[in-house]
Structure 1
Amino acid sequence: MRILIIHTAFIGDIVLSTPLIKKIKDTYPDSDITYVTTPVGEAILKNNPYLNNIIVYDKRGKHKGIKGVWELGKRLRYENFNMVITPHRYLRSSVLSWLSRSPVRKGYDIASGSFLFTEKIKYDREKHEVEKLLSFIDPENKKRYEIELFPGETEKMKGDNFWKGNELFEKKVIVLAPGSKWFTKQWPVEYFNQLSEKLKELSNTKIVVVGGKDEINLSIETENIIDMRGKTTLLELADILSRADVVVTNDSSPIHIASAFKKPRIFALFGPTIEKFGFFPWSLNSQVFQVKDLKCRPCGIHGGNTCPEKHFKCMRDILPEEVFKEIKKYLGE
């Protein structure tokens, strides 16, 4: 059984698909599973023991445009897949599925180009994204599958050195992830700074700030904190989050990366987006902060670059004192 997954969305979406990979392997133990994803997707899926192959779809590079899709499609057709699963709902992914010429091509019923699938899966907006993805295989099997990421020996060694060099082994580590691709999904930076100052009052704790290169420009006050923005690969970030006691994050990929591990308590900040969209933390060790009963909320599934109402209450009304109180309670202070 040769099975292909096509998913070329954002990092968080790829992370959320890892329970599906495990369910496929459980359902078809002798299967050979290939995953088509972006270069960033490849970086986060590296070392997954259930994948036999990762094919990089470089849609901004060598696979750009119609010619690139056609060339990749020819390669997929050569692989002779028995089944293709396409969670990505965009036309290029649907076309790639069709170009594979697999006899079984599954995709969501609302996807662009859904007529190219042989089997349409209902996109149930009421379910968590992980549950939606799990419905591609044996929907009668309701077993809970967890998000799984696999930092390798290199990442673990770097993590050990980082913990040792910063004397973190005996401390409670609080990770702050202040970034997001969308401005309205970002808790105000001054709130993160106020929270950070309060957290420094706690005994035997250390604060680590994480993020990509885009987050370096955020005006985070770094005195007496460890600033790792732009300094880690995705799996190195995963290793840091796996060791943390607390992770405070916006509605962004660190929620889902941290959800791959049991140890960290995730405090997630949700403004313009809501639980119904399906992207709340999958981890059972989590707590969500949100302003309920705000008439303008939600204002969009992805957030935006400005608040349409100009007041930004969905984020500004989540106060640092409230978040600090819950962290303090969790840590037993």
Structure 2
Amino acid sequence: MNILIIHTAFIGDIVLSTALIAKLKDKYPDSNIFFLTTPVGKAVLANNPRIKEIICYDKHGNDKGFSAFIKLTFSLRAKKIDLCICPHRYFRSSILSFFSGAKIKIGYDVASLSFLFTEKIKYDKTKHEVEKLLSFVDKSEKRYELEMYPDQNNINNIKKFIGKTNKKIITIAPGSKWFTKKWPEEYFKILIKNLSEVEDFLVIISGGEEEKKINLELSPKVIDLRGKISLLDLAALCKISDLVISNDSAPIHIASAFPKTKIFGIFGPTVKEFGFFPWSKNSTVFEVNNLYCRPCGIHGGNSCPEKHFRCMREILPESLEREIKNYLYSKQIKLGCIK
């Protein structure tokens, strides 16, 4: 059986879809799973042993345009796909699903051009995104975890920056695509400064080139990896971290692939009901409950509509610092180290 998954969304969405891959392979152990995604999605899925082939579709780059789209559809048909699953809800993905040649084409009922699917799955807004994805296979309630597969090269890349340490590793991801999803810069400065002064803690900052614009005024004790590591390097870092602190962004989902890693998620304009809270059971979310204007949008925004930004400003750095220290000192956890 040849199965095609089409998902060309954001990094976090692709990480969340790894549970779907696991469930498909569980139900159809002899199947060949093909995954069509973006170059960034390919980086997320690299080394996944459940996938036969990652099909890279650079829809905003080298594969932009009608001729490249047609070429892609022909290459998909050549794979003789039996089942096509399309979690991406936009028209281009629906069309790709239709032209894939698959006998069975499954997508969400709310997707653009959903009439092109042979079967439609209810998009249940009350469920976590992972639960929505798992519903593409069957209605069993077995829990599936997220999966990422950093290899020894990724471990070595992190080791190059960190070296050997017996300190508790705290990874902090201060970025997000949306302004209102970002905990205030000055709050991160305070938290990072105070944590870096604790002898038992090793504080590491993660992020891409965009996060370099966040002025954190880091001391020499802090390891700044912004723009220096790949997504699988970040996965390797999350795996050996004792604690990952992140806004509502991709690092939360990457860290969720490693159940021993504790996650502290900072949520402002977005809420649990949107379905993107940490999937990991080993997680804690910091949020301002019962705020009249929350949530204000599923993706946040470029500015606070109410001009006060209380959903983030009322999550104080001292409260986070207290919880971090309580967790790391009260739990008899293994010290973070790279061997």
Q: Is the shorter-chain TM-score for this pair beyond 0.5, marking a shared fold?
A: yes
Q: Which residue of 1 aligns with 2:146?
A: 147
1:113-124 to 2 correspondences below 5 Å: 113-124=113-124
Partner SS state of residue 329, structure 2: coil
Gaps of 5+ in 2: 331-339
Q: Which amino acid aligns with 2:190?
A: Q
Aligned-pair CA distance for 1:203: 3.6
Is the counterpart of residue 111 in structure 1 residue 108 in structure 2?
A: no
Q: Which amino acid aligns with 1:318?
A: I
| Cα offsets for 1:124-179 (capped at 9, x unmatched) | 1000000000000022x111000000001211222333332xx42x0001111000
CA distance in 2: counterparts of 1:3 and 1:36, whole angstroms: 11
Is the counterpart of residue 216 in structure 1 residue 200 in structure 2?
A: no
Partner SS state of residue 67, structure 1: helix
Aligned-pair CA distance for 1:61: 2.0
Is the counterpart of residue 238 in structure 1 residue 235 in structure 2?
A: yes
Partner SS state of residue 226, structure 2: coil
Aligned-pair CA distance for 1:227: 0.3
1:182-201 to 2 correspondences below 5 Å: 182-201=178-197
Aligned-pair CA distance for 1:191: 0.3
Aligned-pair CA distance for 1:184: 0.4
Partner SS state of residue 137, structure 1: coil
Aligned-pair CA distance for 1:221: 1.7
TM-score, length-scaled by structure 2: 0.95
Equivalent residue pairs, number: 329
Partner SS state of residue 332, structure 1: helix
Are 1:273 and 1:301, in contact at CA under 8 Å, matched by a contact in 2? yes
Aligned-pair CA distance for 1:220: 1.1
1:1-333 to 2 correspondences below 5 Å: 1-139=1-139, 141-164=140-163, 167-168=164-165, 170-223=166-219, 224-332=221-329
Aligned-pair CA distance for 1:200: 2.7
Are 1:63 and 1:71, in contact at CA under 8 Å, matched by a contact in 2? no
Are 2:193 and 2:218, in contact at CA under 8 Å, matched by a contact in 1? no
| Cα offsets for 1:27-72 (capped at 9, x unmatched) | 0000000000000000110000000000001101232133332221
Are 1:238 and 1:257, in contact at CA under 8 Å, matched by a contact in 2? yes
Mean alpha-carbon deviation: is it higher for 261-270 or for 10-19? 261-270
Q: Which amino acid aligns with 2:201?
A: T
Percent identity of paired positions between Structure 1 and Structure 2: 57
Partner SS state of residue 35, structure 2: strand
Aligned-pair CA distance for 1:195: 0.7
CA distance in 2: counterparts of 1:143 and 1:92, whole angstroms: 32
TM-score, length-scaled by structure 1: 0.97
Mean alpha-carbon deviation: is it higher for 59-68 or for 43-52? 59-68
CA distance in 2: counterparts of 1:103 and 1:283, whole angstroms: 35
